[in-house]
Amino acid sequence: MSVISNNFDTVAAVSTPRGKGGIAVVRISGENTEKIVEKCFVPYGKPILSRAPRSAVYGKIVNGDDIIDTGICVLFANGASFTGEPMAEISCHGGILVTSRVLEAVIAAGASAASPGEFTKRAFINGKLTLSEAEAVGKLIDADTVSKAELASGAARGNLSRSLSALDGELYGVMTALWAAVDYPEEDVGSEGEDNIYPVVCRVLEGVRRLADTYKTGRAVSDGIRTVICGKPNVGKSSLYNALMGEDRAIVTDVAGTTRDFLEDTADVGGITLVITDTAGIRDSHDEIEKIGIERALTKLEEAELVICMFDMSRGLDSEDEEVLAAAERSAAEKICVINKCDLERKLDDAALKRLGDVFENIVEVSLKDRGAEDGKGGAAALAEKISEMYNSEKLNVNTDAVVWDAAQKASLDRCAEMLAEAKRELERGAPLDVVGVICEGALGEMRMADGAGVSEDIIDGIFSRFCVGK
């Protein structure tokens, strides 16, 4: 399945985070695992190799004559471990010094130090994980929002790989039918299959397009949408930022111009990850520091993918609001208009609402006064719903559905879809089947590329080097 040989040294690393903890785990993987364990681990009772694989064996961890610690060793047999190689995990006490001494003992017994992501890379090379599953393991470890963790966990369990593999199977079926019809035109072997070629090409094309379309949501959850909140001073930007973050981060005061610089953080809003900047209010200011803040806000606005423009229901549209509207109109980002302070007397008249309606397709009304609002989102639930609608229009469940989040995967799927569309057109115009076969072969190659088959060693190394050591 891969271009990479699996002729490896036996490697070891501490797989738990560096720091003090109850226990730490040193992982060993490779051909010489058993020999190394026999040297550095002395069990109480029967020799470890006489026990059943995966038994938890208590013993001493030694470096030559020195006893370093006591702990539990579990041996995994070749083919029945995370990496697919003979493997061992030694649990020792979780101090920084003791874990590095245990690792030293394992290395003294013959292991080499593992490089970042090496265990997961070996699992991929040995066919234990597909590329999307392996990447998902890394994502799961890095996840800082619930939706990111759910997406990664779903992919690590094979949601995406299973969909790709089902489409792959169908397309492969088309290929065999095509080549049978080309190689044995006089025989009837392929006729039934031949009739099926066109509908299956159409079905696979639709499936590939559907999968590629999940990228908008996948990326929105995985990488996050660069979002800017803007609006005139005192409109409720900091209140919104805090409501979305779920904790008090920005300073909320009723003195206009208190947010001088910008805050930036990640929030899970309606299942979508927003990397939100709470900017200084945009207005014509004579205060030098506030001016810098406003300039930075305008720069952030240019870089944003989503701009949340806030207006105040309890005040009429004024020249400061007009500046916000002008900035919004200039921005190429997606936009949402949030009309805040709906608990107060309505001062935005119909003409003002029409003006907002002309600029914004998406408008929500909220009241952010009450952090303990019944909607559980500090009054911002309507906004969360709108964001989910915009970025997850298919209502994907990122934990159970197949979702693409990687740009390279999306590009492979797009190329695959282009080729299938071409194959479909060629079939429609009655092109020779060998021509269609060549196009479908290209499409199958792209589909396989999307899940890591045939990708180059450089790319594999690049992916796994982003992991931490021990993973």
Provide the pairing of β-strand 306-312 with 334-340: parallel
Shortest spacing between CB 248 and ligand GDP, in angstroms: 11
CA 315 to chain centre: 41
Asked if 139 contacts 151 with a C-beta cutoff of 8 angstroms, the reply is yes
Q: Which region, judged by CB under 6 A, interacts with ligand GDP, from 52-60, 136-144, 171-179, 247-255?
A: 247-255
Q: How many CA atoms lie within 13 Å of 406's alpha carbon, on the beta-carbon side?
A: 21
By the rule CB under 6 A, 238 interacts with ligand GDP: yes
Shortest spacing between CB 292 and ligand GDP, in angstroms: 17
Among 340, 392, 409, 412, interactor with ligand GDP by CB under 6 A: 340
Distances in Å between the Cα of 155 and the Cα atoms of 48, 209, 222, 366, 399 are: 36, 18, 12, 35, 8
Among 73, 143, 149, 235, interactor with ligand GDP by CB under 6 A: 235
String of DSSP letters for 251-293: ---SSTT---S-EEEEEEETTEEEEEEEPPPPS----HHHHHH
Asked if 44 contacts 107 with a C-beta cutoff of 8 angstroms, the reply is no
By the rule CB under 6 A, 280 interacts with ligand GDP: no
Contacts with ligand GDP: how many residues (CB under 6 A)?
Answer: 20
By the rule CB under 6 A, 263 interacts with ligand GDP: no
Q: Which region, judged by CB under 6 A, interacts with ligand GDP, from 149-157, 231-239, 393-401, 405-413?
A: 231-239
Among 121, 283, 335, 341, interactor with ligand GDP by CB under 6 A: 341
Q: Which region, judged by CB under 6 A, interacts with ligand GDP, from 50-58, 155-163, 248-256, 445-453?
A: 248-256
Q: Which region, judged by CB under 6 A, interacts with ligand GDP, from 6-14, 230-238, 327-335, 441-449?
A: 230-238
Among 142, 334, 343, 375, interactor with ligand GDP by CB under 6 A: 343
Q: Which region, judged by CB under 6 A, interacts with ligand GDP, from 136-144, 176-184, 237-245, 317-325?
A: 237-245
Shortest spacing between CB 384 and ligand GDP, in angstroms: 16
By the rule CB under 6 A, 346 interacts with ligand GDP: no
Shortest spacing between CB 369 and ligand GDP, in angstroms: 3
Q: Nearest-CA neighbor of 75 among 64, 63, 91, 95? A: 91
- Order of strands across the sheet with 272-278? 263-269, 272-278, 225-231, 306-312, 334-340, 363-365
By CB atoms closer than 10 A (0-12, 13-18, 19+), residue 172 is: middle
Shortest spacing between CB 323 and ligand GDP, in angstroms: 14
Q: Choose between 83 and 234: whose C-beta lies nearer to ligand GDP.
A: 234
By the rule CB under 6 A, 81 interacts with ligand GDP: no
By the rule CB under 6 A, 279 interacts with ligand GDP: no
Shortest spacing between CB 287 and ligand GDP, in angstroms: 14
Whole-number Å distance between alpha carbons of 320 and 336: 18
Q: Which residue has the tokens 């107060």?
A: 344
With residues binned 3-state (H G I as helix, E B as strand, rest as coil), the percentages for the chain, rounded to 5, are 45, 20, 35
CB atoms < 10 A from the CB of 10, how many? 23
Shortest spacing between CB 283 and ligand GDP, in angstroms: 10
Exposure string for 174-200, b = 16+ CB within 10 A, e = fewer: bbebbbbbeeeeeeeebeebbebbeeb
Whole-number Å distance between alpha carbons of 388 and 186: 56
Among 98, 252, 382, 453, interactor with ligand GDP by CB under 6 A: 252
Shortest spacing between CB 259 and ligand GDP, in angstroms: 5
DSSP 468: P
Q: Which amino acid is at 438?
A: V
Beta bridge partners of 278: 229, 263
Q: Which region, judged by CB under 6 A, interacts with ligand GDP, from 98-106, 317-325, 363-371, 402-410?
A: 363-371
Among 70, 191, 253, 393, interactor with ligand GDP by CB under 6 A: 253
Whole-number Å distance between alpha carbons of 291 and 295: 6
Shortest spacing between CB 252 and ligand GDP, in angstroms: 4
Site for ligand GDP in 367-386 (CB under 6 A): 367-369
By the rule CB under 6 A, 239 interacts with ligand GDP: yes
Asked if 316 contacts 339 with a C-beta cutoff of 8 angstroms, the reply is no
Q: Choose between 83 and 238: whose C-beta lies nearer to ligand GDP.
A: 238
Q: Choose between 368 and 417: whose C-beta lies nearer to ligand GDP.
A: 368
Among 236, 270, 293, 470, interactor with ligand GDP by CB under 6 A: 236
Interacting residues with ligand GDP (CB under 6 A): 231, 233-239, 252-254, 259, 281, 340-341, 343-344, 367-369
